Chains A and B, each alone.
Chain A
């Protein structure tokens, strides 16, 4: 697999949230505003990058049987760094993300990439994979947050989009709105992939026919 393929896979084809269906908890919980979502996205991406880097560096020294606890300690260390940095420099974001910062530890995306990719590949590839997956995660969470913020608050990045006559759909900001919006997002993703598949099939069929007609 080339570097570019690894990178792009994380963003679209194997998007951690929309295709692998991992890490729903933070995506649902902190997507009430785009700023919070970006904070969460970048925090998770940083942890992913750090843990992938360290794990791929040390992958030959970690005993096979002990690998999961070691991975968890490495991940928890980076989460603590993020927690302290946010608390020190971005207190507002830290307050609104709250509980979900320490919970990055149990985000299945991070442990999943450590186990499935970083423990088997070299440092450079692991970094590229972490970047791809991290950006995929940021895009997914920011997109969901944009939908919810526009519908539920009539604004994006705290800038009002509509006039005073706009009545926000408050349910979009509330917990039920999170589930329903993400459900529709997944359906949209599936639809796009289905259309793509059908197009590829049609293309293949066309090529086959052309070949047959050439032979004939």
Chain B
């Protein structure tokens, strides 16, 4: 249990997937102009990330490892995740239309989100058990949501700031992300791994 809590804190804060591991930067800069959309994207990421990690974990352990096909990992994982996103989209439309309307537009964006694939790979690389992998993927998603929500809150204030012309848009966003990353650096050393 203690081990799981350490994994959770590490994934959420210490090695935050966006600010420390640099995964999923494109949507992080792209859909963080308003807090509402950032929250929607955050939930979509948690949802898909958990599903994708569980499925890819099972495929790795039950198929690839068993038959010695580890070299196919990259091809199999990306295909599984791409089709999973499509399937989640179709199923959500039928089962939970309200949720679909809230998250629908963010789902296609997630296919190219390297955070999803990255977490699936990391779970295998770190040799986590099934439960550890599950906790890791959920908390990594929560970490993504925390990072993008705070970031969007700061970016909303840009509307009232007088930013020099060359720094507008992506440039100032990256510098802000850098400062945020510095703040998250303060969490380093909370737990010893």
Contacts and interface: CB of A to CB of B under 8 A. Distances in A.
A188 B174 contact: no
A79 interface: yes
Contact of A176 (B29, B83, B168, B185): B185
B171 A186 contact: yes
Judged by DSSP, the binding face of A is helix
A178 B22 contact: yes
Interface string B64-84: 000000011111011100110
Contacts of A73: 75, 79
Given A80-B71, A102-B74, A108 B178 contact: no
B50 to A, nearest CB: 18
For the side of the interface on A, what is the size category? 35 or more
B103 interface: no
A21 B182 contact: no
Nearest to B125: A99
B118 interface: yes
A79 B117 CA distance: 14
A69 B82 contact: yes
Interface stretch (A2-10, A24-32, A127-135, A206-214): A24-32
Interface string A146-179: 0000000000000000000000000100111111
Contact of B178 (A68, A84, A102, A180): A180
B117 A103 contact: yes
Contacts, number: 119
B102 interface: no
Contact of A180 (B23, B74, B83, B174): B174
B7 to A, nearest CB: 17
Given A175-B20, A179-B181, A102 B112 contact: no
A176 B187 CA distance: 14
A107 B82 CA distance: 14
B175 interface: yes
A80 B74 CA distance: 7
Interface string B86-130: 000000000000000000000000001110011001100100000
B121 A99 contact: yes
A121 B103 CA distance: 35
A106 B113 contact: yes
Interface string B135-176: 000000000000000000000000000001111101111110
Contact of A106 (B73, B78, B122, B165): B78
B26 interface: yes
Contacts of A25: 22-26, 114
A45 interface: no
Given A183-B171, A183-B172, A190-B171, A105 B117 contact: yes
Given A174-B185, A178-B178, A190-B171, A106 B112 contact: yes
19 contacts: A22-B26, A72-B79, A76-B79, A102-B73, A102-B121, A103-B23, A105-B78, A106-B117, A107-B114, A108-B112, A174-B185, A176-B178, A176-B179, A176-B185, A183-B172, A183-B173, A186-B171, A190-B167, A190-B168
List the 5 closest pairs (A to B, CB-CB), nearest first: A179-B178, A183-B174, A180-B178, A183-B175, A190-B166
